[in-house]
Amino acid sequence: MIRQVWPSPRDLSGDDLEQLYRYPAHPRWLAVNFVSSADGAITVEGRSGGLSTPADRIVYRLGNDLADVVLVGAGTAMAEGFEGMRPDAATADRRRRFGLAPIAPVAVVTTGRSLPPAAPVITRAAVPTIVFTCEAAPPALREAWASNGARVFVVGAAEVPAGEVVSTLVSEGLGRIDCEGGPRLFGSLIEAGVVDEFRLTVAPFLVAGRADRAAVGPAIDPAELRLASVLTDGASVLLRYLAGGTEDDRGA
């Protein structure tokens, strides 16, 4: 059982969780999802799966299921073995009830160095994967991605501007965006000022070591967040933060 402990303590049903984690009625809403150990690690041996808990898997799935598109950096897509979304019956029903397309595409951000043409996120996806890259990526590589079924967008010169990635997704009718990392993509989204919501699961583990933090990139003036809800299953803590200035129609 997942219980909300703030702002109003109550036990949450599946319907309650859907309402908390749905995407508000805005032309664009970008939610970033991360799981972290209690001491701040976001991976164990290079992958986030070792930190995931039953409660985290519930909210992670809600992020996928209720989004128009799942946004991920190429390094994370390769490390985590992304193969695109494959809805089961429960997900298909949820997407139908919320008026979403049957399958959310994955959008991958890469400068070209870490996304091979035969990456599973391209070749095994049930719907065409969207690849965002830059002019510095070799034309032959861009053509290979497209030949393997991807939709390729070139949106920068030597780097891939996060703001242009998001605006292009919105123009494609994919405004409910679920970002699943990695840290450099999250850092670039913070720098571009396009993050609306940060969903963080604090898992009951200590890891130490040299694991990455959730966001990596140029330092910015601290961007203030507003706490929207705190949930727990008695082990993990599930936090939702809203970026300053965003308006939310979900309540808590």
Considering the chain, what percentage of its residues have pLDDT values greater than 70? 99
**Pairwise CA distance, residues 12 & 3, whole Å:** 6
Per the prediction, the chain carries an average pLDDT of 93
Residue 232 pairs in a beta bridge with 3, 237
What does the block give as tokens for 44? 């164990």
Instruction: Residue 27: name the closest of 249, 238, 175, 130 by CA.
Output: 175
What single letter denotes the amino acid at residue 15?
Answer: D
* Preceding omega of 27 cis (within 30 degrees of 0): no
DSSP category for residue 157: S
pLDDT tens digits for range 191-240: 999 999 999 999 999 998 887 888 887 877 888 899 999 999 999 999 99
- Predicted confidence band of residue 47 (pLDDT cuts 50, 70, 90): confident
Comparison of pLDDT for 121 and 213, the residue scoring more? 121
DSSP 41-70: ---BTTBSGGG--HHHHHHHHHHHHT-SEE
Burial 144-180 (b: 16+ CB within 10 A, else e): bbeebebebbbbbeeebbbebbbebbbeeebbbbbbb
pLDDT tens digits for range 145-195: 999 999 999 999 999 999 999 999 999 999 999 999 889 999 999 999 999
Instruction: Residue 194: name the closest of 226, 158, 170 by CA.
Output: 170
**Pairwise CA distance, residues 236 & 239, whole Å:** 10
* Preceding omega of 73 cis (within 30 degrees of 0): no
Query: Is residue 232 within 8 Å of 2, Cβ to Cβ?
Result: yes
**Dmax (CA) of the chain:** 56
Question: Is residue 29 scored above 70 in pLDDT?
Answer: yes
C-alpha torsion sign, points 210, 211, 217, 222: negative
Question: Is residue 107 scored above 90 in pLDDT?
Answer: yes
The residues near 136 (Cβ < 8 Å, ≥ 6 apart) are 111, 112, 157, 158
Residue 69 pairs in a beta bridge with 177
Q: Which CATH number is 3-243 given? A: 3.40.430.10
Listed by start position, the domains of the chain span 3-243
